[in-house]
Amino acid sequence: MEFDWGFLGTGNYAQKLATGVLTTLELFGTAWVGGFIIALLIVALRAVPFKPLGMLMRLFVEYHRNVPTVVQIMVWYFGMPQLLPDDLRMWINRGQSEFLFATVALSLNVSAYFSEDIRSGLRAIPHTQVEAGRSIGLSAVSVMRYVTVPQALRISVPPLLNRSLILFKDTSLAMVIGVTELTYQVKAIENLTFRSFEVFAISTLIYLACSLLIMGLGAWFGKRFPPAFKV
């Protein structure tokens, strides 16, 4: 077998790869931000002393932790539109509904894991931190906002980083509903050129480089904002 990397300079294959990388990064970024915000909301709601709400949040977490991610993506793309009014469904379908539903599914999925990581960080904080905050006149909400949550986030950097890497790799699952991310574009190029090894080797290197970049950013953040105490 002869390996030929020059085919990337022909046609629009390089452009397809660039488009795939950009779409992958956009999908990862939007899903990460959305998932982190939802995770903070879940943590706050689970702290509310109302059992039905806590049970609902636990059910949400267990669903997203135990159902395959690809199934969740397909539920949102194929199932949820059937529950929407016709006008709204047609309006969504006129845009990039594939990207939208993939982002929603990945955001909700990663938020379940993020919330558990943050809650683990909260449980690691000594109760004396809470007592100290209340002793200077802070309310329970203020203690969570200014004392416990910031420290919990710092403690949770390693598991959050690990889950972020998994989220980045899970963006490839969006190809099943037609999102033109990197894996989708790589498969399209492979079908056109039959250069399987070269194309998938390139995609492997791109995923590896991006993952190492995410790890580097996470390591920098962990050093820049270390926990206030050792767990």
Residue type, 64: H
Contact (Cβ atoms closer than 8 angstroms) between residue 39 and residue 114: yes
pLDDT given for residue 228 in this prediction: 59
Q: What is the arithmetic mean of pLDDT over 133-138?
A: 82
Q: Which residue in 179, 176, 185, 183 sits closest to 74, CA to CA?
A: 176
Which domain CATH number covers 196? 1.10.3720.10
- The pLDDT tens digits of the residues spanning 159-211 come to 999 999 999 999 999 999 999 999 999 999 999 888 888 899 999 999 999 99
Whole-angstrom distance, CA of residue 203 vs CA of residue 187: 10
pLDDT given for residue 128 in this prediction: 81
Contact (Cβ atoms closer than 8 angstroms) between residue 203 and residue 182: yes
Domain annotation covers residue 6: no
Residue 216, class by beta-carbon neighbours within 10 Å (0-12 exposed, 13-18 middle, 19+ buried)?
Answer: exposed
pLDDT given for residue 230 in this prediction: 54
Average pLDDT over all residues of the chain? 88
pLDDT above 70 (res 150): yes
pLDDT above 90 (res 137): no
pLDDT given for residue 90 in this prediction: 82
- The pLDDT tens digits of the residues spanning 99-129 come to 999 999 999 999 999 999 999 888 888 888 8
Q: What is the arithmetic mean of pLDDT over 55-70?
A: 95
Domain annotation covers residue 8: no
Token pair belonging to 104: 């929603």
Token pair belonging to 143: 């203690």
Domain annotation covers residue 165: yes
Token pair belonging to 85: 């009014």
Q: Say what the pTM is.
A: 0.89
Domain annotation covers residue 174: yes
Positive or negative torsion for Cα 158, 164, 170, 172: negative
- The pLDDT tens digits of the residues spanning 66-92 come to 999 999 999 999 988 888 888 888 877
* Residue entry with tokens 């939802």: 38
User: Number of structural domains, the chain?
Assistant: 1
Domain annotation covers residue 4: no
**Residue-by-residue DSSP string for 180-215:** -SHHHHHHHHHHHH--HHHHHHHHHHHHHHHHHHHH
Band (pLDDT 50/70/90 cuts) for residue 58 is very high
pLDDT above 60 (res 64): yes
Domain annotation covers residue 231: no
Domain annotation covers residue 61: yes
3-class SS shares of the chain: helix, strand, coil, % to 5: 85, 0, 15
Domain that holds residue 147: 13-224
Token pair belonging to 223: 């050093």
Domain annotation covers residue 168: yes
Band (pLDDT 50/70/90 cuts) for residue 36 is very high
pLDDT given for residue 83 in this prediction: 84
